[in-house]
Amino acid sequence: MTHHTPRPARSIADLATPAVVVDIDALEHNLAAMSERLPGALLRPHVKAHKSTALAALQRQHGHHHFTCATVREMIGMAKAGLGDDLLLANEVLDAERLAALAAVQDRAMITIAVDSDATVDAAARAGIQHVLIDVNIGLPRCGCAPHDTARLAERARAKGMVVRGVMGYEGHLMVNENRATQRTDTLAAMDVLRAAASEVGGDVMSAGGTGNYDVHADHRATTGVTEVQAGSYALMDTYYSTLGLPFRQALSIVGTVVSTHDKWAVADVGLKSLGMDHGDPTIADHKVWFCSDEHITFATEKSADATTRAPQPAVGSRVRIVPAHVDPTMAMHEHLWLVRGDEVLDRLPIDLRGW
């Protein structure tokens, strides 16, 4: 049997599709813009947005040594990659086996996990986890204990021998509001709740925020008391956040091959199985996307009635760049990404933190 080593791709036209491509200049711009506003430990980049230790290492080069994770797999992967200076699992975990595996890397990494109930405190203690944050519900109907319950949970965790480093709260319901003045008022009100909890709990960490309101946090941290922001999407970006006028560029796209063309539409090989779709349809420059199906995206090639789109007819076999509406689930579907500059392919990086 002969083994063929794939020819190294030089241009995006050589890539097998669907292919995740990340524009290095846009990425570098985003990392620099963020680290200027939130330098060093003021940003705890969320790695769930890219799931790549190589990209986390780039974020560290920009001065951020503390990271946020959403899964035990991400935590352990980061620790094993030597990126474990200070890792926060901003999520609740009850699985004893996974918690034990996480506790086992505490010899090489600083591990802290979020807890929001008796059961999560007890599971962390049983596994031998040494550091926790009390996760406080500050308005998003998801995880986080009721604000009045924080002191009791902190007490329970300390009684079981764990260090309570402080609090976290994720105001995910406030991330996208085109009325940025309202977003600021709402964020500050949520931080009032978190700060009250922080004073009950003690410790020195108050962790919150994301890409959509990172600047509110940067501007007001002296009064809110927030010590670190958990933004993740800013590195690669998606169309969900593009309406806010943030200073981040679109670094991520999925390259597809046009596999079929028709009078009024064309079809490329990037569908639901290679795109996170929960924030809506992806976009293609100059074309209106009609819909996605499992393996396909169908987009218009006729001029729109308002003539705002040029809609050139692409040739079968040509490449299109598709911009996802939601970066995180998109990245989780792919095994590697290609770093590019324009159409030139520079490097291939594994998306090595996938799974749970």
Q: Which residues bind ligand PLP (CB under 6 A)?
A: 46, 49, 90, 170, 172, 175, 210-212, 230-234
Nearer of residues 100 and 176 to ligand PLP, judged by Cβ: 176
DSSP 269: S
Q: How is residue 324 written in tokens?
A: 């996802």
Please state, in angstroms and rounded to a whole number, the distance separating the CA atoms of residues 289 and 295: 14
Residue nearest to ligand PLP (CB): 210
What is the smallest separation between the CB atom of 79 and ligand PLP, expressed in angstroms? 19
What is the smallest separation between the CB atom of 3 and ligand PLP, expressed in angstroms? 40
Nearer of residues 228 and 269 to ligand PLP, judged by Cβ: 228
Nearer of residues 207 and 253 to ligand PLP, judged by Cβ: 207
Residue pair 229/217 in contact (Cβ under 8 Å)? The answer is: yes
My answer on whether omega of the bond before 18 falls inside 30° of 0, hence cis, is yes
Nearer of residues 23 and 228 to ligand PLP, judged by Cβ: 228
CB neighbourhood size of 54 (10 A) = 17
Please state, in angstroms and rounded to a whole number, the distance separating the CA atoms of residues 243 and 175: 11
Nearer of residues 48 and 319 to ligand PLP, judged by Cβ: 48
Nearer of residues 90 and 320 to ligand PLP, judged by Cβ: 90
CB neighbourhood size of 176 (10 A) = 16
Nearer of residues 9 and 193 to ligand PLP, judged by Cβ: 193
Q: How is residue 95 written in tokens?
A: 């699985």
Rg of the Cα trace of the chain?
22
Residue pair 347/339 in contact (Cβ under 8 Å)? The answer is: yes
> Does residue 167 sit in helix, strand or coil?
strand
Question: How many helical (H) and strand (E) elements, i.e. helices and strands, does the chain have?
Answer: 9, 15
Q: How is residue 103 written in tokens?
A: 């506790």
What is the smallest separation between the CB atom of 13 and ligand PLP, expressed in angstroms? 31
Phi (first) and psi of residue 278, to 5 degrees: -70, -20
What is the smallest separation between the CB atom of 106 and ligand PLP, expressed in angstroms? 21
What is the smallest separation between the CB atom of 198 and ligand PLP, expressed in angstroms? 16
Please state, in angstroms and rounded to a whole number, the distance separating the CA atoms of residues 255 and 321: 5
What is the smallest separation between the CB atom of 172 and ligand PLP, expressed in angstroms? 5
What is the smallest separation between the CB atom of 321 and ligand PLP, expressed in angstroms? 21
Nearer of residues 191 and 267 to ligand PLP, judged by Cβ: 191
What are the DSSP E strand ranges found in 152-217?
A: 163-168, 205-208
What is the smallest separation between the CB atom of 237 and ligand PLP, expressed in angstroms? 10
